[in-house]
Amino acid sequence: MCGIVGYIGNEQAAPVLLDGLARLEYRGYDSAGVAVYDGKEIEVVKSKGKLAVLSDMIHGGKDIKGTVGIGHTRWATHGAPSDTNAHPHLSQSGRFAVVHNGIIENYLELKQRLMSKGIEFLSETDTEVIAHMVEYYYKGDIFDTMVKVLNRVEGSYALGVISVDNPDEIVAVRKDSPLIVGTSENGNFIASDVPAILNKTRDVYYLEEKEIVFLRRDGVEIYNFDREPVKKDLTHIDWDADAAEKGGYEHFMIKEIMEQPKAIANTVESRIKNGRIVLDNITLTAEQIKSFDKIYIIACGSAYHAGMVGKYVLEQLTRKPVEIDLASEFRYRSPIVTDKTLVIAVSQSGETADTLAAMNEAKRLGARTLSIVNVVGSAIAKQSDDVIYTLAGPEIAVATTKAYSCQLAVFYLLALYIAQETKIIDCDKLNDMINELLLIPEKVQSILDKKEDIQYFASRHFADKDIFFIGRNLDYAVCLEGSLKLKEISYIHSEAYAAGELKHGTISLIEDGTLVVAVATIDRLFEKTMSNVVEVITRGATVLGVTKETKTIMADTCNFIFYVPESIDIFMPSLSVIPLQLFGYYVASMKGCDIDKKRNLAKSVTVE
């Protein structure tokens, strides 16, 4: 996820761009840049780091002259955060500048083709191919050029382009990435999100898929790819800027919960090509994978809970023994790790001190390391032998939701990849699983569409003092995450138990009206979990059952039931965790807690 702003009008462009980017910094903050046409050429200034670094470099924009420009705040996906990888990117001759939000999935193929024609690339980004393609295909008609380029591009994009040849316009287009157009008497704007331009105008057009817009000083024209003009109604925005930054949601946490279908789709779809898992950037060979006699997963907090799911899934699909440990324990207990061990470090931030130290300890002991990380170029990503990025985009709320879901998605991809490369699963079964994995985003969406059911249930329990979660196997791993989500943001005491373990002591805590959330999504364990549900109900518990749509029988026993769609057992955590995240969120919201900034907690834990 990145942020785009563009401006053409009567004012100096650079300060307008910087102001807009400042309001989009929640979309990306590892580097930023602007490109402004000064009457002769396009001047580009960009820098790694927060927007303030760029702003200081050009004195709040005063150093750059010109009334047409584009700007970008980056959240790295292809190529680490650096000055060179920052946007805007220029074409070979410098005549075109491009900003992009999204992922060009076939960029490697396009890059090779352009390089074979003698075009030199400066960055490691997928975006740079667009800048070079625009120049390569440009024969005097920018509309034709854009259509030609975009017909060759696979993936998602919101693009803004300026050029020396057409200095009095900005061309912009979108597919699967957001882009809006703002209009005012002083000029016209493009932006990834409304807050970027609220200071300047409240009149916007929402672009639809594959609509291409030409912004000039005195107006905007919108077309479809067939060059037919599109008539749109202006929308007048009346929200305040703060609400707008959260896309109209009350908190970043619920915004990020709602972003999960897209985040999971981004993480999964770009790694499946022609029905096969393709992990382009990892260097592990099938022979190396076969030679590992053990896999270790190390992580902290929610990433550890994702690792618990990973353990079950990897063991089931690869038939290799998998151990999981908290990074803070692993590093101090002389773990048994050799050069035949694959150690997987999981971290959203990529900076968690314990996970980094544990991973480096594993390396010292000779293990091969692979990390699952969200922040490109972070310490864990850089120091591991291989990295598979979760493509969740920046996560702002301190309680993780979408990064956790994307960590699960990467574990599925990795387990299926190992099964595919070692041929341990027959082709038909593998294909069925890959096809099912691709359906997860829409199934998650169907759960989110029923969020009001959970909101209602939360309204009955937000004053509870203790809440328990029970489940077996993968359901237990999800319970750990559900319980953490609830307690960390609502401050209600909560514990998660393997359903069969409760009766070994803790069942004494169940009293009349104690809420127990029972997750039962695994067919072969359903009856077993149900007997534990009966045990707690007998002792007076109120039970919320979370199960698959086909298990309607659970409703006969539980006080409240929430159904999630059917899927293969190993993928059920991606679905069953959603109502638990929503429950934690709504309970905390009804209690009036400061959800995005919990007490005593920081987003990135860089101390032991």
Confirm or reject binding of residue 303 to ligand F6R (CB under 6 A). Answer: yes
CB nearer to ligand F6R: pick between 129 and 303 = 303
- 3 state DSSP class of 134: helix
Which residue has the CB atom at the shortest distance from ligand F6R?
301
DSSP H helical segments within 117-245, as ranges? 128-137, 142-151, 241-245
Single out the residue of 400, 567, 574, 576 in contact with ligand F6R (rule: CB under 6 A): 400
Q: Exposure of 500 by Cβ count < 10 A (0-12 exposed, 13-18 middle, 19+ buried)?
A: middle
Single out the residue of 125, 349, 483, 521 in contact with ligand F6R (rule: CB under 6 A): 349
- Selected catalytic residue, list 65, 148, 597, 603: 603
Task: Please give the backbone phi and psi of residue 8, each rounded to the nearest 5 degrees, phi first.
Answer: -140, 130
Q: Which two tokens stand for residue 200?
A: 């300047």
Single out the residue of 399, 515, 543, 595 in contact with ligand F6R (rule: CB under 6 A): 399
User: How many angstroms separate the CA atoms of 607 and 595, rounded?
Assistant: 23
The answer to whether residue 273 is catalytic is: no
Confirm or reject binding of residue 348 to ligand F6R (CB under 6 A). Answer: yes
The answer to whether residue 2 is catalytic is: yes
Binding range to ligand F6R, per CB under 6 A, among 43-51, 262-270, 298-306, 558-566: 298-306
User: How many angstroms separate the CA atoms of 129 and 104, rounded?
Assistant: 9
Single out the residue of 352, 483, 529, 567 in contact with ligand F6R (rule: CB under 6 A): 352
Confirm or reject binding of residue 357 to ligand F6R (CB under 6 A). Answer: no
Cα 459 to chain centroid distance, Å, stands at: 29
- Which residues, numbered 12-71, are part of the site for ligand F6R (CB under 6 A)? none
User: Which contiguous run of DSSP H or E holds residue 408?
Assistant: helix 402-422
CB nearer to ligand F6R: pick between 300 and 367 = 300
CB nearer to ligand F6R: pick between 183 and 347 = 347
Single out the residue of 301, 335, 482, 573 in contact with ligand F6R (rule: CB under 6 A): 301
- DSSP codes, 549-607: TT-GGGGGTSSEEEEE----GGGHHHHHHHHHHHHHHHHHHHHT--TTS-TT--SS---
Number of residues that bind ligand F6R (CB under 6 A): 15
For 218, which DSSP code? Answer: T
User: How many angstroms separate the CA atoms of 595 and 587, rounded?
Assistant: 10
CB nearer to ligand F6R: pick between 24 and 257 = 257
Confirm or reject binding of residue 300 to ligand F6R (CB under 6 A). Answer: yes
Least distance (Å) from ligand F6R to the CB of residue 27? 19
CB nearer to ligand F6R: pick between 411 and 563 = 411
Confirm or reject binding of residue 605 to ligand F6R (CB under 6 A). Answer: yes
Cβ atoms of residues 420 and 317 within 8 Å: no
Confirm or reject binding of residue 392 to ligand F6R (CB under 6 A). Answer: no
Least distance (Å) from ligand F6R to the CB of residue 397? 8
Binding range to ligand F6R, per CB under 6 A, among 2-10, 103-111, 265-273, 342-350: 342-350
Of 364, 357, 363, the C-alpha closest to 328 is 357
- 3 state DSSP class of 203: strand
Confirm or reject binding of residue 347 to ligand F6R (CB under 6 A). Answer: yes
Cα–Cα distances in angstroms (integers) from residue 568 to residues 243, 268, 521, in the given order = 38, 16, 10
Single out the residue of 73, 183, 188, 302 in contact with ligand F6R (rule: CB under 6 A): 302
Interface residues toward ligand F6R, by CB under 6 A: 300-303, 347-349, 352, 355, 399-400, 484, 488, 604-605
Question: Which residues are marked as active site?
Answer: 2, 603
